[in-house]
Structure 1
Amino acid sequence: MRQGILIGGNWIVDHVKVVDVYPDQDKLANILSESSCNGGSAYNVTKALAKLKADFPISGVGLVGEDEGGDKVIIDLKNHGVNTDQVQKTDKASTSYTDVMSVRKTGRRTFFHQRGANAFLDIEHFDLSKSDAKLMHLGYLLLLDKLDIIEPDGMTRAAKLLKAAREQGIQTSVDIVSERSDRFHDVVIPALPYIDYLFVNEFEAAMIAQYATVDWRGRLHVGDCYHAARKILSLGVNKWVILHFPEGVIAISKDGQEVYQPSVIVPEDKIAGCSGAGDAFAGGTLLGIHNGWDMERSLQLGVCAAAASLSEPTSSEGILPAEDCLKLGEAYGFKKKLKVK
């Protein structure tokens, strides 16, 4: 019987700088504090599951450099009980890193990214035959150079990896980076038929579905999010499209189930930064999915894990054990559901 989650993709060291304002070009901002932490989908989701105290095995797949950053990543994972047998070192590039500028008052972030070793992660680094995982999570598409390659048959290498996982009886989960480009059609859509659970935000959903989720004023319309999610399902996702936005999350299944879970009302004075909140949400939701919870309960843990992550400027340090995260939802309450127009 398969058990556990195998997590592959981006392993990044985030250098988080909390600033008073985000300046215009050629202007100055003050750095109020700085720290280093985990970053990237694979690293963040892995840490989220570990800090939620997931009661199943967690394993990583990826590349880091032969440097201090790579050593720190592997030591950190081992300290959190993660199997690192498939987190390998390469001499082709240094460990990937991102400079994250987080505005103290708003929590809004800006990223300056060095792709590093992640750019060389490819199919051969995933030894699926050695894994008893129930589920494989891959992220981020559009930020994994080798796996994003489109082959002559029109499939990406990521699509072929996901196909191989499903053929071995491993369920698949994928997250995407919010890249402003025209690559969504060519890189993301070929992978959809091999994805069981797809995590997207409102921007990514609009780019895949080619259907606007916000109006010209930048206001989100949840009815359009439902439409975009249904369109993505029609393009091949096998089980659920999970579409999150600041006010909450909707999830739509292949068989027509629809779930809306509002976000937690986190007091402004409890917000130290938003870095990693989306990955904390994914981690909480995947914990529920792995353990056979219904989608309503899984999404509730997801938004509560995201809320907990906001208490620290780093990606995962604010995340609490699952039961304590759920208590935050009880203590703070949830936002009102947006009206479907």
Structure 2
Amino acid sequence: MKRGIACAGNWIVDIVHTIEAWPQKSDLVRIRDEVEGTGGGAANVLLALSAFRTGLPLYAMGLIGTDRHAETVLAAVKGAGADRAGLKQTGRAPTAHTHVMNLPGDSRTFFYHPGTNDLLSEEDVAVESAAARGARIFYLGYLNLLGQLDLVEQGQTGAGRVLARAKAAGMETAVDLVSTDRAEFRAAVEAALPHIDYLFLNEVEAARATGIAIAGAADESAIAAAAARLLAGGVARAVILHTPALGLWFGADGTRITRRPDPVMPEDIVSPVGAGDAFAAGCLYGIHEGWQPDACLRLGHRAAAAALKGATATESIPPLVALL
């Protein structure tokens, strides 16, 4: 029986700056604290799954450079005990990195250098090798931050073809989106939908992926309409939406689950960086283990709440036994 999750896509080093206020143009504000860690969909999901300490086999897949930031990524993957055969290196560009400006109690803003992430090609993602090693689920994140793989040509993308290969190799596929205002955002999503089993996204991404106006995190009727459109576009098993107020599971079999997370006190929130990825990791673990949708959402919410208490995306996520 296949077991394990391959995590492919964005590998980023986040340099998180906690600032005292957001400056006006040309102003100076102080950085109260600075911490460095890995980020990006593939990295955050893999490291969150590793933090659960369940012994689940994990496979790192993507492209990094040969610089100092690459060493940070490699050390994190080694610490997670993950298979790194699919994590390739190149000297053609620096490892992707982001300066994250975190304003406690308010928001975070990202200044992103794509580096090697923009060079990632279909040939770099050895899905067949991961399947041969026994991986059951292939996760790809983030769609619309994958450079070459997001290019839309005749209604197809490299990301869609990679996902199709994963399914042909016998794996279930899961995809997460990113909140970027890219001109081809919707087209890139639509090209991938027929090859996705589980799609993770938030309300902003749902609006951009479907063209349906969503008033906010609690606009359940519009969110449901967006989920229905994504299912009609080809998502095979479930559209899973997360907002600060809700977790929603829309199954292709007609299952509709809404779950509200337990409240997190504002003073306990250090940074929201990576909370959505922790939610996805919790749900993916439940999916892998055959849990019911409500249990998947519950673990996703608890993992996200734990992530909020750390400065980096995954440093504060505890073992699964503590989350349960």
Give the TM-score normalised by the residue count of structure 2: 0.96
Aligned to 1:167: 168
Distance 1:54 1:147 in 2: 32
Distance 2:112 2:60 in 1: 21
Offset at residue 212 of structure 1 (A): 1.1
> Contact 2:128 / 2:166 at 8 angstroms: preserved in 1?
no
Aligned to 2:37: 37
> Contact 1:213 / 1:220 at 8 angstroms: preserved in 2?
no
Residue 296 of structure 2, aligned match among 295, 298, 301: 298
Residue deviations 1:148-192, cap 9 Å, x none? 1223x4210110110111111100000111111331222110100
Residue 236 of structure 1, aligned match among 234, 237, 242: 234
Residue deviations 1:59-78, cap 9 Å, x none? 01011111121122112211
Distance 1:105 1:183 in 2: 32
Distance 1:198 1:277 in 2: 16
Distance 2:128 2:231 in 1: 29
1:6 partner amino acid:
A
Secondary structure of 2:247's counterpart equals strand
Is the deviation greater in 191-200 or in 172-181?
A: 172-181
Distance 2:270 2:185 in 1: 32
Residue deviations 1:6-55, cap 9 Å, x none? 00000000000001112232233221100101110011111100001233
Secondary structure of 1:311's counterpart equals coil
Q: Does 1:133 align with 2:132?
A: no
Aligned to 2:180: 179
Aligned to 1:13: 13
Aligned to 1:155: 156
Aligned to 2:245: 247
Percent identical:
38
Residue 309 of structure 2, aligned match among 308, 311, 316: 311
Secondary structure of 2:35's counterpart equals strand
Residue 282 of structure 1, aligned match among 268, 280, 283: 280
1:137 partner amino acid:
Y
Offset at residue 263 of structure 1 (A): 1.8
Aligned to 2:222: 224
Distance 2:235 2:158 in 1: 17
Q: 1:89 to 1:233 in 2, by over 3 A?
A: same
Q: Quote the RMSD (CA, aligned, Å).
A: 1.2
1:98-109 matched pairs, under 5 angstroms: 98-106=98-106, 108-109=107-108
1:268-279 matched pairs, under 5 angstroms: 268-279=266-277
Aligned to 2:208: 207
Distance 2:232 2:105 in 1: 40
Secondary structure of 2:60's counterpart equals strand
1:27 partner amino acid:
D
Secondary structure of 1:146's counterpart equals helix
5+ residue gaps, structure 1, are: 327-341
Secondary structure of 1:2's counterpart equals coil
> Contact 2:60 / 2:82 at 8 angstroms: preserved in 1?
yes
1:164 partner amino acid:
R
Aligned to 2:92: 92
Distance 1:251 1:184 in 2: 22
> Contact 1:97 / 1:114 at 8 angstroms: preserved in 2?
yes
Distance 2:190 2:250 in 1: 18
1:112 partner amino acid:
F
Q: How many residues are paired up?
A: 321
Secondary structure of 2:149's counterpart equals coil
Secondary structure of 2:148's counterpart equals coil
Aligned to 1:331: none
Offset at residue 219 of structure 1 (A): 6.5
1:38 partner amino acid:
T
Distance 1:157 1:221 in 2: 33
Distance 2:115 2:185 in 1: 22
> Contact 1:196 / 1:237 at 8 angstroms: preserved in 2?
yes
Distance 2:48 2:235 in 1: 25
Is the deviation greater in 174-183 or in 278-287?
A: 174-183
Aligned to 1:116: 115
Aligned to 1:267: 265
Residue 143 of structure 1, aligned match among 145, 163, 171: 145
Offset at residue 2 of structure 1 (A): 1.4
5+ residue gaps, structure 2, are: none
Q: 1:181 to 1:76 in 2, by over 3 A?
A: closer
